[in-house]
Structure 1
């Protein structure tokens, strides 16, 4: 899925004009290639986020697959009712920690009780209103909510200032001796509005070594 509710080309033009240093990063990395992850439902996306927390991608995928295998009838993915009806023993038996089990149960209850918006309703909420709804779920902090907005909904103006890798990337790109505090990064990112998601993605690419050779032509 690559469709956004904003124009990446327009975002890059804005960022180039707003921040010459970031323009050099854009030239080095190349085209904006963030790929949105499809979501069958808000419950499904948050359940996956909970399972994947603090694990390697490979380990998390294995555990998530085992959770799905507990509900072979759920061809479109397990539901809140599935989690509510499963025993603690079965959920712990596939590798879920107690904390993640409790988080999944809290998520399932809140969805069943309609305390959380549907995916369709979430799309209509502004960023801060949606984050406030999501962080009410046990195990979903602001960072997890921001990742949902960025990589599931494709929101253009999210700056996850608590993200360690983003702070590290900022320090490396802008040649800072120390990691910026979240407050410092927040102030620095004001010039990137309303496309701070795009700026964040470019900084992450530099940290991950995804820049192009200097001889390559700019996008």
Structure 2
């Protein structure tokens, strides 16, 4: 099946009940958080292609959700004949003026073009291939694209591919939720997160989702 015609609707490939049981058994404070928040309700996001997921991620970087959605909608509107949004060939064929006019910054325009060029060159694995790769291999391959860092790929692993053991230690929400859950006066270091997170394997994605909920429960910083 062609890259542009694949829709990701993959359910979680792990037992979420078993994940919650494991997390409760290995970490009492985390178990209390799970009980407070309630059922695991993380949802996977549909995407037509690896390119589509990363193109959207580029647009959303460093913007509020509403502003990013508006700009991404304008980018998609440039290509009304493409129901799944921009494709690599369409982006390569578009002018800088068109893409900048839709709201892309110069930096994001350069990232989008690099992504499109690499996809057309066969450097970006299609979804079917990604599903057969391990997490580290996906991170290594996709972070070659200009403007795509580890965090962006980690979000793809979690929310597009449904991987169970992603641990985004550089995410501010994770740090804030961790400090709240474990009653820390300061935000944790990466080493703190790696040490505590080791006991949560192989379900650190589930723990991450609950820590994001903890960040929402935490009082605002003064």
Q: TM-score surpassing 0.5? A: yes
Whether 1:69 aligns to 2:69 is no
Residues 170-190 of structure 1: CA deviation (Å, up to 9, x unaligned): 011101111111121111100
Aligned to 1:208, what secondary structure does the other structure show? helix
Partner residue of 1:83?
91
Segments of 5+ residues of structure 2 without an aligned counterpart are: 1-8
Figure out how many residues of one structure are paired with residues of the other and give that number: 210
Residue pairs, 1:16-35, within 5 angstroms: 16-35=24-43
Correspondence 1:161 to 2:175:
no
Change in Cα spacing, 1:129 to 1:77, as seen in structure 2 (3 Å) is: same
**Residue among 135, 138, 145 paired with 2:143:** 135
In the alignment, what sits opposite 2:121? 113
TM-score w.r.t. length of structure 2: 0.92
The answer to whether the 8 Å contact 1:2/1:35 transfers is: no
Instruction: Give TM-score, length-normalised by structure 1.
Output: 0.94
Aligned to 1:213: none
User: Is 2:197 the counterpart of 1:189?
Assistant: yes
**8 Å contact kept, 1:2–1:34:** no
Q: Give the root-mean-square deviation of aligned CA atoms.
A: 1.2
Distance 1:2 1:209 in 2: 30
In structure 2, distance between residues paired with 1:44 and 1:118: 10
Matching of residues 42-61 of structure 1 within 5 Å? 42-61=50-69
Q: Conserved in 1, the CA contact under 8 Å of 2:42 and 2:209? A: yes
Point out where structure 1 has 5 or more consecutive residues left out of the alignment.
211-219
Q: Which residue of 2 aligns with 1:214?
A: none
For 1:155 and 1:114, the matched residues in 2 are separated by 24
The secondary structure found in structure 1 opposite 2:147 is coil
CA contact (8 A) 1:43 1:107 kept: yes
